[in-house]
């Protein structure tokens, strides 16, 4: 059977470009108005709210909206807590912190940091939820990190990074062997002196 692209697939493909464009515009705005992180956060939250409402009205028809159990949801403590947590902590606070970070980070650096989000998600899922991480996760993590490093460092930068990490690893191994040899050398010296005498 052949697979076809649906709307969700297309939106998933557009999302990285939208994030990159948003970071680039925010970097420019934060350079021009470095003390206005709160106002920029408010503007972004308004844009998120309006686009979410517009998408909701477009994607869900009115009879379906009216048939949803709104009264039950609005009287449930867990639903209200989830809405407040999602709105305040994971949306408003994270956007505000992003805007503050854009005062010192470039859009490329911010994109690099955000590109590692799936890696952190997988790591926390493994640690907190006990999810089994197989070779596919390792391969995906390798692709993500390679793409992030290449987009920010280029091929020459990646080569320098690789050579620097290999030389650091080599010197660390040599130091460990030198330390082990230094610990063993008094014992060897005693054994050699005992044999000579």
Distance CA(23)–CA(156), nearest Å, equals 25
What is the DSSP code (8-state) at residue 75?
T
The region that residue 76 occupies, defined by phi over 0 for left and psi between -120 and 50 for alpha, beta otherwise, is: beta
- Closest Cα to residue 33, out of 132, 92, 99? 99
Number of H helices and number of E strands within the chain?
9, 0
Q: At what angle do helices 107-115 and 7-32 cross, to 10 degrees?
A: 140
pLDDT tens profile 48-84: 899 989 988 888 888 888 888 988 988 999 999 999 9
Q: What angle do CA 83, 24, 88 make, to 5 degrees?
A: 15
- Cβ distance 122 to 137 under 8 Å? yes
35-74 burial code (b ≥16 CB/10 A, e <16):
eebeebbeebeeeeeeeeeeeeeeeeeeeeeeeeeeeeee
Distance CA(150)–CA(159), nearest Å, equals 10
Q: What is the pLDDT along the chain (197 residues), one digit of tens a residue?
A: 457 778 777 877 787 778 778 777 888 888 888 888 899 999 999 998 999 899 888 888 888 888 889 889 889 999 999 999 999 998 899 889 888 887 787 777 777 777 777 778 888 888 888 888 888 878 887 887 787 777 767 788 778 877 777 776 666 556 555 554 445 555 554 554 454 44
C-alpha of 10 from chain center: 22
Distance CA(41)–CA(106), nearest Å, equals 18
């Amino acid at each position: 059977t052949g697979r076809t692209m649906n709307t969700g697939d297309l939106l998933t493909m557009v999302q990285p470009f939208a994030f990159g464009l948003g970071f680039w515009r925010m970097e420019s705005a934060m350079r021009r108005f470095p003390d206005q992180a709160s106002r920029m956060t408010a503007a972004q939250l308004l844009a998120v709210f309006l686009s979410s409402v517009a998408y909701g009205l477009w994607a869900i028809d009115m009879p379906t909206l009216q048939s949803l159990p709104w009264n039950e949801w609005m009287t449930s403590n867990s639903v209200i807590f989830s809405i407040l947590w999602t709105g305040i902590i994971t949306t408003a606070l994270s956007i505000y912190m992003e805007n503050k970070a854009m005062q010192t980070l470039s859009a490329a650096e911010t994109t690099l940091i955000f590109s590692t989000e799936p890696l952190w998600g997988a790591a926390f899922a493994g640690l907190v939820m006990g999810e089994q991480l197989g070779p596919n996760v390792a391969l995906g993590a390798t692709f993500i990190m390679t793409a992030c490093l290449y987009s920010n460092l280029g091929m020459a930068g990646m080569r320098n990074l690789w050579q620097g990490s290999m030389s650091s690893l080599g010197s660390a191994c040599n130091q460990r062997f030198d330390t082990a040899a230094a610990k063993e050398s008094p014992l060897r010296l005693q054994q050699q002196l005992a044999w000579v005498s």
